[in-house]
A and B are shown apart, each in its own frame.
Chain A
Amino acid sequence: MSNKSLYGEQIIYLSKHPKNFRVIENAQYICEGANPLCGDRVTVYVNVSDDDTLEDVAFQGTGCAICMASASMMTTSVKGKKRAEAEQLFEEFHRLVKGELDPAREPHHLGKLTMFENVSHYPVRVKCASLPWHALRNALENKHSASTE
């Protein structure tokens, strides 16, 4: 497969064995994200501490490999971060998958999230990768649903 392949081994592995795939009982923030055109659904659960740290982040849902792997990576990437840091990470991630941020040329905080770089070659799949992040952002804004539309 070409080096622009969407499906790196890590993405496939995480889609089958996602981290933090669970419900947080009595979570402070819950948001169900949906992609109405394709039917992907991701519910994100967040607990935030008094000093604005995302103490626990988890998700449940159904979707394609890109969506599931992205949800898993989202939870592990923002856990322990402050709200503002999580927000900045989403901004960078969104630009990455839209092809507006070249991780080789621009400083960033993406870390392993760069595994989603090739999503930018598949414009119709950008929504799959960003859905869990939209759900996280809306959860933190105390909205209970998010849509990629």
Chain B
Amino acid sequence: MTAHAVLATPSTFDAAALRADFPTLQRTINGHPLVYLDNAATSQKPRVVIDRMNRFYTEEYSTVRRSIHLLSAKATQAYEQTRHLVAQLINAPEARQIIFTKGTTEGINLVAHGYGRKFVGKGDEIIISATEHHANIVPWQMLCEEKGAHLRVIPVDDRGELILEAYEKLLTDRTKLVAVGHISNALGTIHPVEEIIRLAHAQGVPVLVDGAQAAPHMPVDVQALDCDFYVFSGHKTYGPTGVGILYGKTAWLEQMNPFLGGGDMIETVTFEKTTYAPIPHKFEAGTPAIAEVIGLGTAIEYLRQVGLEAIAAYEHQLLEQATERLLAIPGVRIIGTASRKAAIISFVVDGIHPHDIGTLLDQEGIAIRAGHHCAQPVMARYGVPATARVSFAFYNLPSEIEALGAAIEKAIAVFAL
């Protein structure tokens, strides 16, 4: 490992040293050092992850679980090692409760298919929240349409906090599942998932938590949360694209239908009947993203060395500094002012469309997201067609926040005709 591990408290957290581990962060964009503030979309990769995947492809490549030769045995071992690392990362009781998916979207679709199609029927209800990413809306809409079920939505207040009193009223004996984001990708709100889960369980309703924005940025303990399902993506967790995680409680996973049929997910196959493999393999049909899973394992080892407690504390400092800097600019308004927020800030600037902000910042080497963030209902709720969004990672620096502020001021000057 080349990770610059630090026993970090926020004040000693050495983000500048950690940056050296990320090749992309060394480059310039439009003549300026890259300031990468689009981490909620996807994160950069440390050298160790890239090297690990290259080594797998150049020296160790083989398939997993099918063949008896040495390379395949080694590949299987490395692949399964990631399952154990993920289980440790989120404190899952057993590694077999970790299912490899393509990403968060596939994880949610897997549950919509495997749990939803089996347990949701006509007139039943599924509860989501008003701040969900499209990935945690559309699969449930598709399920509801197919089954004649109904989608119910926990409303959000003006600050971006879910209204729990309304949620309690939505929970009925018709509710078959609650699916909520841990952190809103559009507003940055950290949702009170502990309370949401407690209230659902009091009615016997299982809960899926979309952890795409949480798992890379804060410690997650699925046993403490007591969630029934937890999903997140490798590529936002400093790992490769094309791999994601679904954690599920064993009892649910064992009752659920498989998602894809094919090789590797079977016990025996005849033309009359197929019996399925035990979990997790029941949900992993076909040759998986082997190199990506192994790369994700390295990313998780790296993340654990840096330390998620320290990352969360440091990123919170960045959030406070960036919030203060943005609010000091006349004409800037922050959308989403919840009391508990992750280091994600959506904002609008009077008289300048977010896309124009995005392009003008890009000319200064600053990468942000501009648009609806795959959360159109959120944009509608706050009466804006789009926002600009900055989202931080532990490798961002206070000096980059100053560069962001200066670039926004410059953009305002360009538009002040």
Contacts and interface: CB of A to CB of B under 8 A. Distances in A.
B417 A64 contact: no
B204 interface: no
Given A7-B360, A39-B372, A39-B376, A128 B355 contact: yes
Interface in B343-370: 351-356, 359-360, 363, 370
B359 A12 contact: no
Contact of A64 (B356, B372, B376, B414): B356
B286 interface: no
Nearest to B372: A39
Contacts of A62: 385
B271 interface: no
Interface residues of B, number: 19
Contacts of B417: 9, 12-13, 16
A66 B385 contact: no
B219 interface: no
A65 interface: yes
B386 A6 contact: no
A40 B379 CA distance: 13
A67 B385 CA distance: 14
B307 interface: no
A39 B379 CA distance: 10
A64 B353 contact: yes
Given A7-B414, A12-B415, A38-B371, A1 B363 contact: yes
Given A39-B372, A63-B385, 6 more contacts: A1-B414, A12-B414, A37-B371, A39-B371, A39-B379, A64-B356
13 contacts: A6-B359, A7-B415, A16-B417, A38-B355, A38-B372, A38-B386, A39-B376, A39-B379, A39-B385, A41-B385, A64-B354, A64-B356, A67-B353
Interface of A: 1-2, 5-7, 9, 12-13, 16, 37-41, 62-67, 122, 125, 128
